[in-house]
């Protein structure tokens, strides 16, 4: 009689621990995604300043700069799903990369103090975004492991926790930035 | 970075003359030590003789041995003091300036204990702490400071006394090239090497450390375990390229490396079994070999700036 009760209690305790582990990992994923969001906002806040600084110098990249302005407007409108946010982020990263490469053609711009300071700040924000993405992938991997591995997979299937996707760059963005194509005025 | 052939030239042109004078002193030190050894042997022999002949308590032999060892250690220190000091002023100081003119060398200075504890690399607070050979200055845009350290923890239980080494080797502090407010500690990974996944689970349950950070460079993860106060912050500090550099540095030195990143500074502790920058007593000073070793040990520390790319200042910290 007693043994049955103790065994039942032990089993319940184990289930509770497994459940809590899963919930903790799911929340960590949400937490880190929030951090990515915060970092992205920092970058979107810097974009207008960047555009106004380079606009007067970079005559040939008008189209690209306008594209970035559009993307920014979309990003801060606040009406995006998580997937759309990620997609937009990838597009902006690629466009920004193109701008930074094109700067090489404008020695005056490269020497401009405002631009240099802005460049340092942007480097820092980009690196922080990259760090946040890596942390997100780590949190997702941790969560996915718990959803798939024994014994947490039992509890996971009971409460219908599914695996999540890590941050990936789509094929088209994986290709190197073709600078010529980008800067057809 | 100076090359070995440049060092050899420097050694032949500048150091040999002083080394010859010091060699003289070394021989004198050796002779004095031999003298002390004979005196001790006589004391112990006398104690044995007295004990046997006068049927005294054998404890006297033990007491005499202990006393004479204490005497010897004291005598050795006294004898060697001037020789070691002169060696450091004439040779080590010059090698430091040969590596970089802007560095300053203080033979008796060391990294303060408060800084050592602040780095949070070693959780045990040492109660025996000494060091020497402090080098400081600026390499490019990076301020650095390093010294040899020997930190121990002595625990007494009743009559028993055991001394455990907390850290022995080279301790380096540098100005890091990014601003950050989190705390990240990188330690050699023993548990994962031995126990794989279970080892990692045990590491994550460590109560005295921050949260375990699992990073995305497999080679790095194999060699190191990382604890940090912020998951994103730790990855901001430990970028993909920095992790590769730390792995390369680890393989280059082939020693236990510990790092921590606190308050926009980086602390690096490289474990050494031997004493650094000490002059030889039992072998000739005139060889190039020891000079090369001093140079390489110093170069290792100064080289951390390049190895960790600390002079790349493309972020807001300049």
Structure tokens that stand for A78 in this block: 């606040």
| Among B215, B183, B196, B6, residue whose Cα is nearest residue B95 | B6
Find, in chain A, the residue whose alpha carbon is nearest to that of B214.
Answer: A138
Find, in chain A, the residue whose alpha carbon is nearest to that of B231.
Answer: A135
**B315 closest CB neighbour out of A124, A134, A139:** A124
Helix orientation angle between A2-55 and A62-76, rounded to the nearest 10 degrees: 140
**B315 closest CB neighbour out of A32, A127, A139:** A127
Structure tokens that stand for A136 in this block: 């997100």
Minimum distance, in Å, between the CA of residue B208 and any CA atom of chain A? 21
Q: Tell me how far apart the alpha carbons of residues B202 and B192 are, in angstroms, rounded to a whole number.
A: 9
| pLDDT tens-place values along chain A, 185 residues long | 889 999 999 999 999 999 999 999 999 999 999 999 899 889 989 888 888 888 888 877 788 888 888 888 888 887 778 778 888 888 888 888 888 888 888 888 888 888 888 889 988 998 999 999 999 999 999 999 998 988 888 888 888 888 888 877 555 544 544 444 444 44
**A135 closest CB neighbour out of B178, B235, B316:** B235
Fold for domain A2-31+39-182? de novo design (two linked rop proteins) (1.20.1440)
Please check whether residue A143 is in contact with residue A164, taking contact to mean a CB–CB distance below 8 angstroms.
yes
Chain A residues with CB under 8 Å of B233 CB are 131
Minimum distance, in Å, between the CA of residue B243 and any CA atom of chain A? 13
CB contact under 8 A, B316 and A139: no
Contacts of B259 (CB under 8 A, 6+ apart): B121, B185, B186, B246, B266, B267, B268, B269
CB contact under 8 A, B216 and A134: yes
The Cβ of residue A104 has, within 10 Å, a number of other Cβ atoms equal to 10
Please check whether residue B188 is in contact with residue B206, taking contact to mean a CB–CB distance below 8 angstroms.
no
Per-residue pLDDT, B31: 92
Q: Tell me how far apart the alpha carbons of residues B267 and B237 are, in angstroms, rounded to a whole number.
A: 13
What letter does residue B230 receive in the DSSP assignment? -
Per-residue pLDDT, A185: 41
Find, in chain A, the residue whose alpha carbon is nearest to that of B236.
Answer: A131
Chain B residues with CB under 8 Å of A127 CB are 178, 236, 239, 315
ipTM value of the model?
0.82
Minimum distance, in Å, between the CA of residue A64 and any CA atom of chain B? 24
C-alpha distances in Å from residue B169, one per residue of B95, B99, B144, B268, B269: 19, 20, 17, 10, 7
The Cβ of residue B32 has, within 10 Å, a number of other Cβ atoms equal to 16
Give me the phi and psi of B203, to 5 degrees please.
-60, -35
Structure tokens that stand for B72 in this block: 């010897």
Please check whether residue A146 is in contact with residue A17, taking contact to mean a CB–CB distance below 8 angstroms.
no
The Cβ of residue B158 has, within 10 Å, a number of other Cβ atoms equal to 5
B58: buried, middle or exposed (CB in 10 Å: 19+, 13-18, 0-12)? exposed
Identify the three-state secondary structure at position B138. Answer: strand
Is residue B201 less than 8 Å (CB to CB) from chain A?
A: no
| Average pLDDT by stretches of 10, chain B with 318 residues | 88 90 91 90 83 77 83 88 91 92 93 95 93 94 95 87 92 94 92 69 80 93 94 94 95 94 95 92 88 92 93 88
**B231 closest CB neighbour out of A119, A128, A135:** A135
Find, in chain B, the residue whose alpha carbon is nearest to that of A125.
Answer: B315
Identify the three-state secondary structure at position B265. Answer: strand
Q: Tell me how far apart the alpha carbons of residues B126 and B124 are, in angstroms, rounded to a whole number.
A: 6
Q: Sign of dihedral through CA atoms B292, B294, B299, B301?
A: positive
Per-residue pLDDT, A100: 83
CB contact under 8 A, B232 and A123: no
Q: Where are the domains of chain A?
A: 2-31+39-182
CB contact under 8 A, B239 and A121: no
B298: buried, middle or exposed (CB in 10 Å: 19+, 13-18, 0-12)? buried
β partners of residue B187 = B225
| Among B171, B162, B158, B159, residue whose Cα is nearest residue B300 | B171
Find, in chain B, the residue whose alpha carbon is nearest to that of A121.
Answer: B316
Is the whole model's pTM more than 0.95, yes or no? no
- b (16+ CB within 10 A) / e for B97-129: ebbbeebebebebbbebeebbebbbbeeebeeb
Structure tokens that stand for B299 in this block: 């170069």
Q: Sign of dihedral through CA atoms B244, B245, B250, B256?
A: negative
Is residue A139 less than 8 Å (CB to CB) from chain B?
A: yes
Chain B residues with CB under 8 Å of A125 CB are none
Q: In which residue are the tokens 């060697």 written?
A: B80
Contacts of A133 (CB under 8 A, 6+ apart): A36, A167
Identify from B198, B200, B241, B315 which residue to disrupt to test chain A contact, counting A C-beta atoms within 10 A and taking the largest count.
Answer: B315
């Amino acid at each position: 009689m007693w043994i049955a009760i103790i065994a039942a209690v032990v089993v319940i305790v184990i289930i509770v621990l497994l459940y809590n582990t899963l919930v903790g990992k799911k929340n960590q994923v949400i937490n880190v995604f929030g951090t990515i969001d915060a970092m992205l906002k920092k970058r979107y806040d810097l974009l207008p300043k960047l555009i106004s600084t380079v606009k007067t110098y970079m005559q040939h990249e008008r189209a690209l700069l306008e594209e970035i302005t559009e993307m920014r407007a979309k990003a801060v409108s606040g009406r995006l799903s998580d997937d759309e946010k990620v997609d937009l982020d990838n597009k902006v990263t690629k466009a920004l990369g193109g701008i930074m490469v094109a700067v090489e053609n404008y020695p005056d711009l490269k020497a401009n103090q405002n631009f240099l300071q802005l460049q340092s700040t942007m480097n820092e924000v980009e690196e922080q975004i990259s760090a946040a993405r890596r942390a997100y992938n780590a949190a997702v991997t941790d969560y996915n492991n718990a959803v798939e591995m024994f014994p947490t997979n039992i509890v996971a299937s009971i409460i219908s926790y599914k695996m999540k996707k890590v941050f990936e760059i789509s094929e088209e963005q994986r290709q190197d930035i073709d600078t010529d194509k980008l800067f057809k005025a | 970075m100076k090359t070995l052939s440049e060092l050899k030239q420097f050694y032949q042109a500048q150091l040999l003359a002083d080394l010859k004078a010091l060699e003289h002193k070394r021989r004198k030190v050796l002779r004095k030590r031999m003298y002390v050894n004979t005196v001790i042997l006589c004391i112990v022999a006398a104690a044995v003789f007295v004990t046997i002949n006068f049927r005294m308590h054998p404890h006297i032999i033990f007491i005499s041995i202990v006393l004479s060892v204490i005497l010897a250690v004291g005598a050795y220190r006294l004898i060697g003091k001037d020789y070691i000091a002169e060696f450091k002023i004439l040779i080590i100081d010059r090698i430091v300036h040969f590596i970089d003119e802007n560095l300053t060398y203080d033979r008796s200075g060391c990294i303060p204990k408060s800084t050592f504890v602040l780095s949070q690399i070693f959780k045990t607070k040492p109660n025996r702490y000494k060091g020497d050979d402090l080098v400081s200055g600026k390499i490019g845009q990076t301020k650095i400071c390093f010294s040899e350290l020997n930190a121990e923890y002595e625990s007494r239980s009743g009559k028993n006394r055991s001394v455990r080494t907390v850290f022995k080797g080279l301790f380096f502090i540098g100005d890091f090239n990014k601003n950050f407010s989190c705390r990240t500690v990188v330690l050699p990974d023993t548990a994962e090497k031995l126990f794989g996944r279970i080892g990692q689970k045990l590491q994550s349950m460590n109560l005295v450390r921050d949260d375990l950070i699992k990073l995305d460079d497999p080679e790095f993860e194999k060699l190191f375990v990382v604890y940090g106060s912020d998951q994103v912050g730790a990855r901001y500090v430990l970028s993909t390229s920095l992790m590769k550099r730390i792995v390369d540095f680890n393989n280059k030195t082939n020693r236990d490396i510990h790092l921590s990143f606190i308050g926009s500074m980086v602390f690096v502790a490289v474990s050494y079994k031997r004493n650094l920058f000490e002059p030889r007593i039992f072998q000739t000073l005139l060889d190039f070999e020891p000079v090369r070793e001093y140079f390489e040990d110093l170069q290792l520390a100064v080289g951390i700036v390049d190895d960790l790319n600390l002079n790349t200042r493309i972020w807001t910290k300049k």
